[in-house]
Amino acid sequence: MTEKVPTPEELAERKMRFLFTLRSRGVTDARTLGAMEKVDRGVFVTGLFADRAYEDMPLPISCGQTISQPSVVGLMTQALNVQPRDKVLEVGTGSGYQAAVLSHLARRVYTVDRHATLVREARKVFDAMDLTNVTAFTADGSRGLPKQAPFDRILVSAAAEDPPGPLMAELRVGGIMVLPVGQSDAVQSLIKVTRTETGYDYEELRPVRFVPLLEGLGSE
Ligand code: SAH
C-alpha cells in the first residue's frame, strides 16, 4: 500500500480545519491556538489511527492509553494560562502531545508517565522536534516531582478522585493546576485550582472523560 503524500495546499487546508474546530469548541486564546498550530498532532499518532490524527477525538496509543482530544488539550492549556517564565509539570505524558504544546508557552516543562515505554517514545519525538525545554521522566506523578518543585503550573492528564496532596503542595502560591477529578468509570469534572496566600480556590470548568490516575509504575 502506498501512502499518499499531501500537497502543501492540502496540508494548509488540514491545519485550517483543525484550528477552526478548536475555535468552534471554545479554544479562543490566541497563545494557545498559536502553540497548537506549531505542533503537528500527526507525529504523535502512529499505526492504525494515524489518518485520524487531525480529527477532534481521543485516539489509542501504546500501553492501552489514549492521546487526548485536541479541543480538550486546548481548553486545559488555555485554563492553565501559562506565562513565558513558568515552570510547568504535566502528569501523564502519554504520547507527549500535550507537553509539546506546553513547551511553546512555558520556560520549562517536566512531564512524567508511569509507563517507561511511553516516556521513551515521547522523548524521541521531543528530540526530533527539537523541543529542548521539555524533560520526560518515568515516575508516579501522583507523588509529585519533589526534585523539580515548586511549579508555577501543573496539568494532570489522568483522573483522580481528588486532587493529589503532593501536587497541591508543589504548586507555588499564585500557581494554577488544571486536572480532571472523579470516579474513573463515570463522567469526571475538569477543575482549575488556584493556590492563594491562604489556601486554594476551586473552579469547575466542564465535564470530561480521562483514563484513571493510577499509583505506582506500569509494567511496560
Ligand atoms: N497527555 C497525554 C495523554 C495522557 S493519557 C497526551 O497528550 O498524549 C494519561 C496518561 O497518564 C497515560 O499515559 C498514563 O500512563 C498516565 N498516568 C496514569 N497514572 C499516572 C501516574 N500516577 N503518574 C504518571 N502518569 C500516569
pLDDT above 70: residue 3: no
pLDDT above 60: residue 140: yes
How much of the chain exceeds pLDDT 70, in percent? 99
The answer, yes or no, to whether any atom of ligand 1 lies below 6 A from the CB of 157, is yes
Atom number in ligand 1 closest to CA 216:
22
Q: How far is CA 50 from CA 26, 45, 190, 209, in A?
A: 25, 5, 27, 22
Atom number in ligand 1 closest to CA 211:
9
The answer, yes or no, to whether any atom of ligand 1 lies below 6 A from the CB of 116, is no
pLDDT above 60: residue 24: yes
CA 100, CA 106: separation in Å to the nearest integer?
Answer: 10
When pLDDT is cut at 50, 70 and 90, the band that residue 220 belongs to is confident
Residue found by looking up cell 491562604 in the block: 198
The amino acid occupying position 2 is T
The answer, yes or no, to whether any atom of ligand 1 lies below 6 A from the CB of 98, is yes
The answer, yes or no, to whether any atom of ligand 1 lies below 6 A from the CB of 214, is yes
**Ordered domains of the chain (ranges, CATH):** 8-208 (3.40.50.150)
Atom number in ligand 1 closest to CA 214:
19
pLDDT above 70: residue 2: no
Q: What is the CA radius of gyration of the chain?
A: 17
Long-range contacts from 64-70, C-beta under 8 angstroms, 24+ separation: 65/94, 65/115, 65/118, 65/211, 66/94, 66/211, 67/41, 67/94, 67/95, 67/97, 68/94, 68/97, 68/98, 68/157, 68/210, 70/18, 70/21, 70/22, 70/36, 70/41
DSSP E strands, the chain? 59-60, 66-67, 87-91, 108-113, 134-138, 151-156, 171-181, 188-195, 200-208
